[in-house]
Structures are given as C-alpha cells and as structure tokens.
Amino acid sequence: MYSKKLLEEFTNPKNVGIIENADGVGQLGNPADGDVITIYIKVKNGILEDVKFKAFGCAAAIATSSMVTQMAKGRTIEEAMHITKEDVAEALGGLPPGKMDCSNFAPDTLRVAIEDYQKKNKV
Amino acid sequence: MKRIYMDHSATTHVDPKVLEAMLPYFAEKFGNASSLHSYGQEASEALSLSREQVAQTLGAQPTEIIFTSGGTESDNMAIKGAAYMCSSKGRHIITSVIEHPAVLRTCEQLEKEGFEVTYVPVDRDGIVDLQFLEDSIKEETILISIMHANNEIGTIQPITEISKLIEGKGIILHTDAVQSVGKIPTDVNELGVDMLSISSHKIYGPKGVGALYMRDGINILPLLQGGGHERGLRPGTENIPGIVGFAKAMSIAHENLEHDSRHMEHLRDSMIKKICGKIPHAKLNGHEKKRLPNNVNMSFKYVEGESLLMLLDMKGVAVSTGSACSSKSQKASHVLSAIDPGVDYIHGSLRFTLGKENTMEEVDIVVDLLEEAVIKLRQMSPFGEDI
Ligand SMILES: Cc1ncc(COP(=O)(O)O)c(C=O)c1O
Ligand code: FES
C-alpha cells in the first residue's frame, strides 16, 4: 500500500506542466508499457531555475515525478544529476516493494533532460 | 465521506440473512458431521440440507455437489482431477486465453507434467472463437474448460453451444461459473456442462467456501487424501458454518435472480451511456450485450488505470483495474491484451462491478467523480493536450 505522503503528493502534484523554450527536455517510457514521464528544465548559471513535468503512469510515477522536480529546483546541475531513487522514495515516506522500479523512472528522466541541456550547450 | 463500493466481482459483503443462518453453527451447533452422536447429527443435517439447496439452484442432484474452499480449489480440482483420471485416454486439454489464473496456472502446471493445452483466442468483443475451438478438438482431447463469464470484462461465453459441439465425443466440459452464478441463469443441464465451479464470496456469502458441481458418472482423481468426506473427493472436516452460509447465499441469489439482474442491467446500461456522453475517448471493453448485468469495463485514452483507481479511492469509490503498468514486473491484463483495445487504451481500463444494492444515485455520483479524475489525469498526461 502507498504511504500517506505519497498519496498526498499524487493527489496534489507540484510543477505539473510544460516549459516553453525549455533548455532541456527528457522523456522516458512508452505508452505500450503504461508509463511515460516528460521533464522540462530551465537552467541559469548552472542552476535549475525551473523544472516541470508531465506524466502518464501509476500513482508512484506521478508522485515521484512531482517530488523529483521539487528536489531539483534551485539545485546545481551537478547536485540534480545525483538525486537517487532512494532519495525520492525516502522523501515520499517509502514505496511499496513492487513499486521500487517506478521510483527510478523520474530521477532517470531528469538526468535525460539535463543531458539534453548539456548536449545542446556543449557543456 | 460516503463510500461507494463498485467492486462486487472482487468480493461482496455477507448478506445479513446469510450471516444469521451461519451464526448457530459456530458455538452452539458446532458438531463434526462425521460424529455419530446428536451433535454430529445436527451438523450432518445442516450439511445435507445445504447440499440440497445448492443442487436445487443449479438444477442438479445433491450427490453431484462437492463442497470446496472456493473457486480456486474447484477449478484446480476439476481440471487436474479430470486430467489425471483420463490421462490414459488422452492428454490434450482445451481452454481459453481469458480464463482466470486459477484455470490458466493450473493448465500451465499440467503442461509441465506432459499434458498438451490449446488456448483458444477470443474476438475483439471478448467471446471465444468457436470455430477455432472446434478445429482444436482431436482424438486425444479429454477436457474442455471455458469460463461461463469473464471476471474482468464480464463477457458471457457460449457454453451451451460448446456442449452441443462436443456431444457424444466423450470429452468432459468444465466451466468456471464463479462470476456468473447469481447474475445469469446457471442451470447445469441447460448449459450442458459436466463440471462447474462456484465461489460463495462473490454472491454475498462468506469467503473460503464454494463448490464443484460434478455430473453423475464423471470420475476424477481427488487432489487431497484423507477421510471419506465428500465421497472421498475432498476429504477434511466440513466447514459447516461456511457451507450453510454459502447455501443460503445461493438460495437468495437464485430466488432474486431476475429482479436483481434486471436492476443491475439497468444501472449498467445507464452508466455506460453516461460515461460515453460525458467523457470523450472512452471505450467499452467487451461485448455490449453478451456481458454480465453488473459489469462496466471501460478504457480511457491517455489515462493510466491505477492512478485513476487511486483518485477515485480518495473520493470513497472502490473499483478495480485490469491495467498495471508494465515497467519491469507488472503487465497489462491478459484479458485486455487478448481483446486488444489499442495501445492508447490498454493501460487505461477501469472495472466497475455493480451490486444488487447499488443505486442510480450512486451511479451518477461515480460518473461525475470519474469525469473529474479523468480530466485531472489528462491534464497531467504528456499526450493529453490534443483532446
Ligand atoms: C472467474 C473466477 N474464477 C475463480 C476465482 C477464484 O475464486 P476464489 O476467490 O473463491 O478462490 C475468481 C475470483 O476472483 C474468479 O473471478
Ligand atoms: S511507473 Fe509503472 S508501475 Fe509505476
């Protein structure tokens, strides 16, 4: 069963949406598997000034996306790259055993968005 | 918060009349039906009466009823028991791709033991392909097991037609009627089946009890060895309170079948219509008419079923989903995969299963909450913008 904290995050997710002219975009998953997360980032002076997401997936996918965007916002790129699934799971009061795989998904998508930014800016 | 239960295919509450019938058999009439004294007689009388009641609702003889621990056991007993008994005659079994795991996993186990199993596909409406089934029959076929009604999409299978197809061929016909009993007629002679599985907790009876109907003249090997209970086919001291409750639940369901199913069918059709009217890109899974009176299974494009279920649960509405995200271990339901509603729909399914006590008012509340939840999730979805 999901923790209270995760359910709260799932029902009232933060940072839902799209960033127009984002500096980096990451997307992982596919509709046939039942989950897709897209993360948009805005970067200024090496800091993630804004982070937004869109997600199609289970309650854990949505809650972890919301959590990872909040954890990344205001951090340096280096710090954001190193947010782990354990960090996210812990911030949500734990995940049910069968759902630990989903928690990888949001931080990985964030890393894809950052790599996209780095590629575009040849950092 | 007022809670609304629309997951009656998962389980039902115990009917107060059922509970009342069971109560004396816990502390007062607690005897072992095999004992010779008066305590034993009380229990044994209750057991006989229950057997008669269950048989009557199925158009069967009391000697044809074997009490079990529920649907899973009945399915295992019927399929393995018949396969082991007939293995010298042949080792081929026919079933369908949309069976409950209690049947599918049992057949897979038999495959490991050297039996050959054909899994008959279904059409887009979730009805088994009769032609395919007929073409699959061969000399070595000993058993056909096709469910009467599907637990996820509620589709009703042509059991009577199958029984006619195999008339005189000496093939045993088993049906899993766990979802159909109490909702549509299940007279064993009209269906033409040799074996039929029932579970009590789906029809307002207690959990952990059920029965296997087994036609006179059919022989199976028992899965358990022990005393001579249930003619040696299912040894173990009988669960008298459970059996009494189960029989009472069967009687009530049988008596009210027409009334209850008409009521639920009315709610079902109205619910489907309202959902389709309010929510764009919603799709009914399974045949529109050949379905259980209480089953509404719909998919919503660009929405994932589990998150939809969770949002409804937060509002007090209990439903279920056949879709689980397939990242790693979790897979889309085998039933939905079989009818293939398309990649945009397959993970967005929700199953509402109505009960005899649900009302039109509840249907309206649930449809409104559902609309709200779908909109919310589509706004979050990376695909949702174009609708
Ligand atoms: C079609 C079908 N068969 C078998 C079962 C298993 O029944 P039980 O829970 O009594 O073991 C179920 C219950 O989920 C079912 O829906
Ligand atoms: S993201 Fe797929 S089960 Fe959670």
Q: pLDDT confidence of A34, banded at 50, 70, 90?
A: confident
Q: Which residues of B touch A32 (CB under 8 A)?
A: 326, 343, 346
What does the domain layout of chain A look like in residue ranges?
A: 4-116
Q: Is B325 a catalytic residue?
A: yes
- pLDDT at B385 (0 to 100): 59
Side chain identity, residue B123: D
Across chain A, what does the average pLDDT equal? 93
Best B300, B312, B313, B327 residue to mutate vs chain A (most A CBs within 10 Å): B327
Question: Which of B180, B217, B221 lies closest to B197, judged by CA?
Answer: B180
User: Residues enclosing ligand 1, CB less than 6 A?
Assistant: B 70-72, 75, 100, 102, 147, 151, 176, 178-179, 199, 201, 210
* A31: pLDDT strictly greater than 90: no
> How far away, in angstroms, is A10 Cα from ligand 1 center?
31
Cα atoms in the 13 Å half-sphere on the side-chain side of B134: 11
Q: What is the mean pLDDT of each run of 10 residues along chain B (387 residues)?
A: 95 98 98 97 98 98 98 98 97 98 97 98 98 98 98 98 96 98 98 98 98 97 95 96 98 98 98 97 97 97 93 96 56 89 91 98 98 96 71
Ligand nearest to the CA of A31: 2
ipTM of the complex: 0.93
Which residue type does A103 have?
S
Identify how many contiguous H helices and E strands chain A contains and give both numbers. 5, 3
Rounded distance between C-alpha atoms, residue B359 and residue B294, angstroms: 12
Give me the CATH code for the A4-116 domain, please: 3.90.1010.10
pTM score, two decimals? Answer: 0.95
pLDDT digits (tens, 9 = 90+) for B229-281: 999 999 999 999 999 999 999 999 999 999 999 999 999 999 999 999 999 99
Please judge whether B343 and A32 are an interchain contact, meaning their C-beta atoms are less than 8 angstroms apart: yes
Q: What does the alpha-carbon distance between residue B247 and residue B306 come to, in Å, rounded to a whole number?
A: 35
For chain B, list the domains and their CATH numbers: 4-12+257-381 (3.90.1150.10), 16-255 (3.40.640.10)
A22-26, A119-123, B368-372: which has the minimum mean pLDDT?
A119-123
What is the CA angle B273-B275-B276, rounded to 5?
65
pLDDT at position B325 is 54
Closest approach atom of ligand 1 to CA B147: 1
Nearest CA to ligand 1 atom 5: B71
Please give the C-alpha separations between residue B123 and each of A42, B177, B321, B345, in angstroms, as whole numbers.
49, 20, 21, 17
**Which backbone phi and psi does B10 adopt, to 5 degrees?**
-80, -55
Q: How many CA atoms lie less than 13 Å away from B249 in the CB half-sphere?
A: 31
Q: From the alpha carbon of A98, which atom of ligand 2 is closest?
A: 3
Give which of B351, B348, B337 is closest to B300, Cα–Cα.
B348
Which band of pLDDT confidence, cut at 50, 70 and 90, is reported for residue A82? very high
Contacting residues of B for A101, CB less than 8 Å apart: 327-329
Query: Which atom of ligand 2 lies closest to the CA of A61?
Result: 1
- DSSP structure string for B218-271: -----SS-SSSGGGGTS-S---HHHHHHHHHHHHHHHHTHHHHHHHHHHHHHHH
Cα–Cα dist B90/B100, whole Å = 24
